[in-house]
A and B are shown apart, each in its own frame.
Chain A
Amino acid sequence: MMESPRRASDCASDLTFDRLVGGELVGHGERKVLDHVETCASCRARLAEIRSQQDVFAQRKLDLPPRRRSWRRAIGFGIGPALAAACWLLLQRPRDVSSVDQGEERTKGGSPLAFYVLRDGEVSLGRAESALHPGDAIEFVFSAERPGYLAIFSVDGGGKASVYFPLAPRAAAFPVGPARPVPLSTVLDATLGEERIYAFHCESAVELEPIRAALAREAGAPPAAPGCRVSTLRVRKERP
């Protein structure tokens, strides 16, 4: 009975359908699945069933343990009160990545990307080149002059490239406006040294992994991503 997978070779797995309804399949991948679904009654029924499951489940409330709630409050420090102060960071228009001088450092004074730091319960505006400590929580703000998609990467002192935002395979839609908070806080790990932070603001929801991989290969040179503008910050992480 379970000798091998029984579904027809063209039919999608639940994993594929879950990625589809979760918004992870885009472009050709999405089209391929939907084209098949149009011609396959079995897959059509399964997709409808999974969408129904998603709708029903979305009504459920997520209850997290109390101790995690208090932990979360400590991290989600909110930057609303400081937004006014951040408006001066709405700065010069970022340039196309292709025109970025790879040797030039763009500080917060020239970048639409800025950040706030939570340390010992105090929130302060982050300053490029200023020292941060392991355990500091930081929250970015980004000033977008036009609709687009945002992704933020970092390359730490050990040369490890990571995606800070979003928690998804592609750049996330980001609203127009000055110093808009990026909806993800970050706690700095114990790796010391200079950390470079790159914000890619793109015309489309670009894939993140190729950019991350390119940054891992050459940290000082953000890759050319068509339709994207890149902003750079450099911070220093050191022991308190």
Chain B
Amino acid sequence: MPVLRHEDIEDVYRKHGHSVLRRARQLLENEDDALETVQEVFVELLEHPEQFGQRSSLVTWLYGVTTHRCLNRLRNRRTRARLLGQDQPSPVQASPAGRVESWLELRRILGSLPADLARVAVYHYMDELTQDEIAEVMGCSRRHVGNLLQRFRDRVHDEGSGP
């Protein structure tokens, strides 16, 4: 099990930290939360380098970890708002074809989606990754990515045309 030293972490931070911060900003739209997420990601790399393990690319691993942490934060925000009575759910605006009509709309529902659907939606709609790229980041097959995207569209469609 490899263990990263301070110098190793700093080198990774200088090379790749900008991409972690960028996507944290995109997803969270809150500078303090984004900076905290950057910190968390690199502490995680320090404490659990085995999670990077055999992955072929550190950048794709960082994309995955950052996305996971940001989605958790969005989920926590939503839960907190619900507990405080500040959540005002509204139907997802979806076209008959089940398309998500805006990034803002997608971001609003991310916190309520199952983790794998939220992740695939972020990679597809926000990052505009190809299905091959998504498969690499998520560590699954391209076919599975296609299935997840279809499930996401079905879910958006169902919620948009609900009662």
Contacts and interface: CB of A to CB of B under 8 A. Distances in A.
B4 interface: yes
B148 interface: no
Contacts of B127: 13-15
Given A13-B130, A68-B43, A68-B46, A184 B15 contact: no
B56 A169 contact: yes
Interface in A8-61: 13-16, 18-19, 21-24, 50, 53-54, 56-58, 60
Contact of A62 (B19, B42, B129, B133): B42
Among B10, B18, B57, which residue has the most Cβ atoms of chain A within 10 A?
Answer: B18
Contacts of A123: none
A177 interface: no
Contacts of A3: 99-100
B18 A187 contact: no
Interface in B62-91: 63
B115 interface: no
A239 interface: no
A6 B128 contact: yes
A64 B101 CA distance: 40
A60 B46 CA distance: 18
Contact of B15 (A5, A22, A186, A209): A22
Contacts of B54: 162-163, 209, 212
B2 interface: yes
A62 B2 contact: no
A188 B52 contact: no
A2 B4 contact: no
A167 B49 contact: yes
B137 A54 contact: no
B17 A75 contact: no
B113 interface: no
A75 B58 contact: no
B6 A76 contact: yes
B32 interface: no
B9 A62 contact: yes
B18 to A, nearest CB: 4
Interface in B1-42: 1-10, 12-19, 21-22, 39, 42
A65 interface: yes
Interface string A162-195: 1111011100000000000001111111000000
B112 interface: no
B128 A5 contact: yes
Interface of B: 1-10, 12-19, 21-22, 39, 42-43, 46-47, 49, 52-54, 56-60, 63, 99-103, 106, 124-125, 127-130, 133, 137
What 3 pairs across the A-B complex have the smallest Cβ distances? A57-B18, A5-B128, A18-B19
Interface of A: 1-7, 13-16, 18-19, 21-24, 50, 53-54, 56-58, 60, 62-65, 68-69, 72, 75-76, 137, 162-165, 167-169, 183-189, 209, 212
7 contacts: A13-B130, A15-B133, A19-B59, A23-B15, A57-B18, A62-B9, A169-B58
